[in-house]
Structure 1
Amino acid sequence: MATSNPSVFLLTVNGQIEGANFPEYDNLYCKYCFVYGHDWAPTSGLEEGITQITCKGSQSSHRLIWNFPLETTFKSTNPSGWPQLVVSVYGPDVFGNDVVRGYGATHIPFNPGQSLEKF
């Protein structure tokens, strides 16, 4: 009698951290990570990362552009603990130390297809 392994499903995340509006700050970067429940495991891609430092462009006085790619695949046997993307934005203070300038989190969308998440 053969033992059966529980079936798994895969969740693939493809996207990018496009940018942010910070009227009062410049020279910012993002740190991101995925958080998920104990039934989830990453199978490929990065679970966390850091973007490049960006400055405001001449076209917009408030918009910072990163266009930083994200690509990660998870597997699970259970939808409980569905992955979330957590983003923190850092920049220098008057002394040159990196401090948090903003943060947010969002669940990875449940529906397949394209999605634009703002936070």
Structure 2
Amino acid sequence: MKNTLKIKREYWPEITNEPHFIVELIYEGCNISYDDIYFSDLNNIIDKLDTLEKNRKGSVKLDGGHRFVAILEATATGGITIHFQAESFPPIFPGELKLKGYFIVEGEYTPIICGDLIKLFKEGKEFHI
């Protein structure tokens, strides 16, 4: 089984004008998914992603609250490491599941990952790694 992270943008216009995100995470045999993650200050995230891609320094936090957080952090080689933390609670999982892990992105793929996340937030294009 391949480790993957997928994020889709959706709207609930009858509830709010803010987009919510569907997050599906498969990591080392564990599956966690959410249909209602909100990231605050999307314009700031977009600006930081653009800066990270251009300068290859610093980090960007995608803060979805206590259930899902991802941090994109520049590496010395020009790549990025995507650290994540996800929590699942009943009835999705029989008990409580806390999952921490990371995805390593080589330098030549950094613009693709940052660009795809920017397209997710701006245009709603699905992101996956």
TM-score when normalising by structure 1:
0.30
Larger Rg: 1
More helix by share: 2
More strand by share: 1
Q: Which has the higher contact order (CA 8 A, sep 6+)?
A: 1
TM-score when normalising by structure 2:
0.29
